[in-house]
Chain A
Amino acid sequence: MAEDEVDRWVQSACVLCSNGCACDIAVKDGRMVGVRGRAGDRINHGRLGPKGLYASWQWSDQDRLTRPLVRQNGTLVEASWDAAMDRIVAESKRRQPLQHGFYTSGQLFLEEYYTLAVIGKAGLGTPHMDGNTRLCTATAAASLKETFGSDGQPGSYNDIEACDALFLFGHNMAATQTVLWSRVLDRIEGADTPAVVAVDPRMTAVAETAVRTGGVHLRPLPGTNQALMNGLIHELIAHDWIDRAWVDEHTLGYDDLAQTVEPYTPVKVAEICEVPAPDLRRAAEIFGTSERVLSTVLQGFYQSHQATAASCQVNNLHLLRGMIGKPGCGVLQMNGQPTAENTRECGADGDLPGFRNWANPDHIDELAQLWNVDRQVIPHWAPPTHAMQLWRYVEQGSIDFLWISATNPAVSLPALGRIREILGKQELFLVVQDGFFTETAAYADVVLPAALWGEKQGTFTNASRTVHLSEQAVAPPGEARSDLEIFLDYAERMDFRDRDGHRLIGWKTPEGAFDAWKECSRGRPCDYSGLTYDALRGESGIPWPCTADQPEGTDRLYADAVFPTDPAVCEDFGHDLTTGGSTTPEKYKAQQPGGKAFLKAADFRPPPETTSAEFPLIGTTGRSPYHFHTRTKTGRSPRLRRAEPRMWVELSEQDAAELQVAAGETVVVESARGRVEAECRVGTLRPGVLFLPFHFGYWDNADGPPTAANEVTITEWDPVSKQPLFKVAAVRVRKVKR
């Protein structure tokens, strides 16, 4: 369709990864018909990637859910909203708060998360609320809390243009955030190319770029990141590539860190990680001798063994060199899903809203006052329930009311055989709220049809704190309603009241929810108080903190090297990185952190699952640049379907030769949990490791062989962030004879 045929353009940003590229939606005759990038935006400067271009709207009128469904005599039948919501409320009312669990998403808008968080924390009073973001962004948040005292992305994307070395730790940026990667490519192909170091067991486009431009590609054995990181820090210290004066002034824990990394000589690390010692030395030298280093971290660290410990070591590298808060010197602890950042801020991931500390009574009082509820209602007596524990409680039956919104655990959680059994439990009352009839919806007692992107209004925040407004472009299909409307309807029917008998939730619109959130965030590190919908209707998105004094927002945190570690401010008192044991408030205060950052240390320990004679290979999972999550949207875009039509398994050349399989042949991958059958690709992975993309579930493949990568993954998680380990499953492979 030509540009002048479009009726109108509606401002938005893409929700198909955490980059949040600003765009306009083209509307013709009440339908979405295209998108264009917004040139004036600080994030994407007008660019869009394949998912944004080809999957942001094409799904919009394909097999959507248009009416609520309610299970009657074993089958789901269409029902009115009243009937569906009355059923939910009746089930909810006959249960205690602790029997309720909410499992949400990284795809909703800020206004929806905040409303859900208030329902859970001040209405019902249940600590059991988490989401799919536990699988994606939990370690980013945890490592920032451990090091800096609070969540909040330190760096800015503008550091890409200013750095002279770029380290990507377990981050295949070329597949995960294609537009961000094109910003990097601008630098690579430009005049003064930064040195690139990639840490990844696969030869990804990122790794190839590192090699091609004279950087380093480190390929540690999956599960050994912590040893590698200790080795890099060991080298920094051994060569005195550290800014000792800065470290003394702005950090705590140097001696313990130095002592912990002492044994991690390049030779020892080379042995544990199976990387050449000279490569490790060279990478450390680049970090130690460059002037402005930018590091990014993603799932290769977050979904692997010792996730939080290893991610904290990236922070440590920067602190040791005093490289934080200055142009070109930054850490980007990334996330995968588009609105994952907002679950962290609003507390729909179990944390408390506004990065408040559940172990700080003053923070609980602030929330009690804000919501005008008794502080005892707010679940703060123990750490919030993380997703894996939440599912365990459902398995044991102590949670028997589970409300899933905008995510698809029947494909995305580890060890799917177990998850299907849990979802199928007779005693469980299951609500699924989504735009499509997903694999998970098939298990529901009530299915609620939700409006999606472009069909509702709201804001969301990208991986570098930049907030965008997404306007409603078209009406939702049939009777579908926005997630916000659904949550508000539930709150209304449950009749949640504050201490004075007034409605607990006073807002009715997205903007009303946004205003309430602004108040909640005021004075906290994620301060939105200076933002308005109107301001967000300008040229570009705006990065928080944004206050009345600083209406243009904040590009980079910690320019003054004062970190939010003061006990009255911090979001968390921290943990032992090895066990996850919580530091007590007394112990935390005794360290007198007062604005200094923590250099947290941990020894390497072997991963929970290692290879054996029966399962001799390590299976690791990841993404395709052409699909998002479980393909509910991208799988309905013809172009992206053509680009990546079906499941595959990538084997190293050596392993493929040994197994006598050629590219295109079918293989079966098996672990102690399950099996996957798919076409084989031969790639340049490190031998002994195979790769499984995680997008391919069953909604368009009901009768085929098993294809979901999570059939084989394990039920294990990081002790601090509780993020599951998707990267280390012991597997075996065999060729399927046809």
Chain B
Amino acid sequence: MHVSTYLGLLRHAEGALADAFDQIGQGHGDEPDVVQLCELLAGKSRAHVEQLQAAVDRYGEDADNEPERLKAAEFGGARSGGVGLLRDLQDLYALGSFVDVTWTVIAQAAQGLRDPDLLQTASACQAETSQQLTWLNTRIKQAAPQALIVAP
């Protein structure tokens, strides 16, 4: 059974997403909305890591020997300037999408396992992942024209 592999993958990815939100928030101190929302949304991913614990207790977690390619790419550190902000938000979006689809995988598994608790966790957490992606999408759309066309 590979559920444990995917639980490990998801916990790692949520942790990486939380760290990336934190780093990007801190790296863009002059954009108050980015600071505030990255802090809030990092907290959501961190809470998801906790919420996965019950499932990990049931199915185990293959964190150590998971194949390297089953790991989410980690974030490399905040950039600066208008285009830098855009790229950072885009990295968050990529990581968040990875988390999103991984929740879909886990939810499917939960159906097959007839595990209502895991299914409930997956749907609640995925709703918050979607909240993260929605904000990122909105902010990226806002920042893009200015950053690409006229940023000095």
Contact = CB atoms under 8 A, between A and B. Distances in A.
Interface of A: 96, 98-99, 127, 381-383, 385, 388-389, 392-393, 395-399, 575-576, 578-584, 605, 608, 715-717, 719
B2 interface: no
Given A383-B141, A608-B36, A98 B146 contact: yes
Nearest to B152: A397
A392 B31 contact: yes
B142 A398 contact: no
Interface of B: 30-33, 36-37, 40-41, 81-82, 131-132, 134-138, 141-142, 144-147, 149-152
B134 A581 contact: yes
Contacts of B132: 579
Contacts of B142: 382-383, 385, 389
A469 B33 CA distance: 40
Given A382-B144, A579-B41, A398 B151 contact: yes
Contacts of A576: 131, 134-135
7 contacts: A382-B141, A393-B146, A399-B150, A579-B41, A580-B138, A715-B32, A719-B36
A526 B31 CA distance: 35
Contact of B32 (A382, A583, A717): A717
A383 B36 CA distance: 19
A716 B32 contact: yes
A719 B138 CA distance: 11
A729 to B, nearest CB: 13
B140 to A, nearest CB: 9
A706 to B, nearest CB: 23
B38 to A, nearest CB: 11
Contacts of B147: 398
Nearest to A583: B134
Contacts of A98: 145-146, 149-150
Nearest to A127: B145
A717 B138 contact: no
A381 B150 contact: no
A396 B82 contact: yes
B138 A582 contact: yes
A578 B136 CA distance: 13
A-B pairs, top 10 by smallest CB distance, nearest first, are: A581-B134, A581-B135, A579-B135, A397-B152, A382-B141, A98-B150, A582-B138, A398-B150, A581-B138, A398-B151
Contacts of A395: 30
Nearest to A379: B145
B84 to A, nearest CB: 11
B58 to A, nearest CB: 26
B25 to A, nearest CB: 12
A99 B136 CA distance: 24
B93 to A, nearest CB: 12
Contact of A717 (B33, B134, B141): B33
Contacts of B137: 581-582
A398 B36 CA distance: 23
Nearest to B149: A98
A222 B54 CA distance: 38
A329 to B, nearest CB: 34
A99 B150 contact: yes
A582 B142 CA distance: 11
Q: Could you say which of B32, B33, B37 has the most chain A C-beta atoms within 10 Å of its C-beta?
A: B33
Contact of A396 (B141, B145, B152): B152
Contacts of B33: 580, 717, 719
A96 B131 contact: no
A96 B145 contact: no
Contact of B40 (A575, A605, A716, A717): A605
Contacts of B136: 581
A26 to B, nearest CB: 48
Contacts, number: 75
A591 B150 CA distance: 38
A397 B82 CA distance: 10
Nearest to A715: B32
Given A98-B146, A396-B82, A716-B36, A383 B138 contact: yes
A395 B144 CA distance: 17
A578 B40 contact: yes
A214 B31 CA distance: 46
Contact of A398 (B40, B138, B146): B146
Contacts of B30: 392, 395
Nearest to B136: A581
B123 to A, nearest CB: 14
B43 to A, nearest CB: 9
Given A605-B40, A717-B33, A398 B134 contact: no
Given A96-B149, A388-B32, A395-B30, 9 more contacts: A96-B150, A98-B150, A127-B145, A381-B145, A385-B142, A398-B146, A575-B138, A717-B32, A719-B36
Contacts of B141: 381-383
Contacts of A96: 149-150
Given A719-B33, A719-B37, A396 B151 contact: yes
B62 to A, nearest CB: 33
A579 B131 contact: yes
A262 to B, nearest CB: 15
A578 to B, nearest CB: 7
Nearest to A396: B82
B65 to A, nearest CB: 37
A507 B134 CA distance: 42
A399 B147 CA distance: 11
A382 B41 contact: no
A140 B146 CA distance: 28
A385 B152 CA distance: 18
B32 A579 contact: no
A259 B82 CA distance: 39
A385 B137 CA distance: 16
B22 to A, nearest CB: 16
A397 B144 CA distance: 15
Nearest to B134: A581
Nearest to B141: A382
B135 A580 contact: yes
A382 B145 CA distance: 9
Contacts of A608: 32, 36
B126 to A, nearest CB: 15
Contacts of B81: 396
Given A576-B131, A581-B134, A398 B152 contact: yes
Contacts of A582: 134, 137-138
Nearest to A415: B32
Contacts of A583: 134
Nearest to A718: B33
Contacts of A575: 138
Contacts of B31: 392
Nearest to B39: A608
Contacts of A717: 32-33
A579 B37 contact: yes
B17 to A, nearest CB: 15
Q: Could you say which of A395, A576, A579 has the most chain B C-beta atoms within 10 Å of its C-beta?
A: A579
Nearest to B147: A398
Contacts of B40: 578-579, 605
B146 A578 contact: no
Nearest to B137: A581
B134 A579 contact: yes
B88 to A, nearest CB: 15
B71 to A, nearest CB: 27
B131 A578 contact: yes
Nearest to B35: A608
A40 B142 CA distance: 47
A191 B6 CA distance: 71
B86 to A, nearest CB: 12
Contacts of B149: 96, 98
A395 B151 CA distance: 11
A351 B41 CA distance: 28
